[in-house]
Amino acid sequence: MTMSQAVQTIIEQLDSPITEDELARRVFEIYPTTAKTAPASLRNTIRYDHDGRTLIRLSKDRIIPMRTFMPGIRFRISVDARLAYACTLTLDMFEPFYVHARGAKASLTFVDEKGATLPTRMKAVLSPGPKDLARIIGNIKSEGYDLQKWAETRQVQKGDSILITIRDWGQGIYALEHEPASKRQRPKIEAANRKFADTLFAILEESYDDRPPAHQLIPKAYASLPDPYGYPGDHWMQVIERDGRMNYNGWMITYAEDMSPFDRIALTEPGERLPFVKDKYTREKAGQVFRFKAEMAYNKRIWREVEIKGNQRVAELD
């Protein structure tokens, strides 16, 4: 048994929050060690292996098992034109509301309001990449859950919402509820959005990591809300985008002014940034040919000239 497996064993036995000291006592009962670094090793194990995966560490005095906290959590998926045309729910919409077991493939099951299992089939979906990398990596291919029959039965339209309730977090069971746009409680949604954004930003400022992963911060934010199981606001990704103080790049949550990976590509020397060419992309420029010269940094006798058209991506140039 490893220390991480020992923590997993104790967490699976819990039905209520626990302190870090009590968790350590129980872990070392089944994982005895005389190493002087054992307490520090345990803290690192909690931080890297379990925080946001099996537990939520709100503080040293309050560690919450995700298995008991997550069931009942509700979140909203807004129906845009794509979802209205073909109701395919992709895994990123459920981030981080599913089990983040390392190496394990997520498998979700959907039920209706009465608990009846909904028939689904897996479907390949192309979706835009993270906002700050979209021009470099283009679209991302992922798998989605085709729920078109359910959507047609409920007459889901653009502007409506799909409310998701976690029934069983460990087994990946989620209840779907259709909320027409006419029944949306806008004042409650706006209030929930403000509360969530302020809570998440406060957690980001207190985080020991300047670029914490979303699967750690989002559960912490929900666990810090006064009513995490109440009427849901907008999806947290939409809340972050509208708030303006934070940025989500598909994995981490950072301050809005934090440099994106695309910004880093544009750096030459520390503190020196190449100017961006702010120009509009037109149909005529799509057909233009652009020539680049690349040479080895330490042997400039080795070089290549590459020509690409304006409608080709940076990834193709690479």
Q: What one-character-per-residue DSSP string does 100-126 give?
A: --TTPPP--EEE-TT-PBPP-EEEEEE
CA–CA separation, 135 and 141 (whole Å): 15
Name the one residue in this structure whose structure tokens are 């799909």: 162
pLDDT attached to residue 66: 95
**CB-based contacts of 152: which residues, under 8 Å, 6+ apart?**
none
pLDDT attached to residue 253: 93
Count CB neighbours of 43 within 10 A: 14
pLDDT attached to residue 210: 76
The strand pairing partners of 57, in sequence order, are 63
The closest alpha carbon to 239, from 217, 212, 210, belongs to 217
Q: Letter for the amino acid at 265?
A: I
CA–CA separation, 189 and 233 (whole Å): 4
pLDDT attached to residue 12: 94
Instruction: Evaluate whether 3 touches 45 at the Cβ level (below 8 Å).
Output: yes
CA–CA separation, 273 and 260 (whole Å): 13
The closest alpha carbon to 80, from 170, 151, 169, belongs to 151
- Helix %, strand %, coil % of the chain (to 5): 35, 25, 40
pLDDT attached to residue 265: 56
Per-residue pLDDT tens digits for 261-316:
555 555 555 555 656 666 677 888 888 999 999 887 767 788 889 999 988 887 78
Instruction: Evaluate whether 9 touches 67 at the Cβ level (below 8 Å).
Output: no
- Calculated CA dihedral for residues 216, 220, 223, 224, nearest 10 degrees: -170
pLDDT attached to residue 243: 93
For the whole model, what pTM was predicted?
Answer: 0.76
309: phi then psi, degrees, rounded to nearest 5: -90, 160
Low-confidence residues in the chain, pLDDT < 50:
103
CA–CA separation, 263 and 260 (whole Å): 5
Q: Where are the alpha helices (DSSP H) in the chain?
A: 3-13, 20-30, 38-45, 66-69, 81-85, 134-137, 148-154, 186-206, 214-224, 236-243, 261-265, 283-286, 314-317
Per-residue pLDDT tens digits for 192-227:
999 999 999 999 999 888 789 999 999 999 999 999
CA–CA separation, 186 and 184 (whole Å): 6
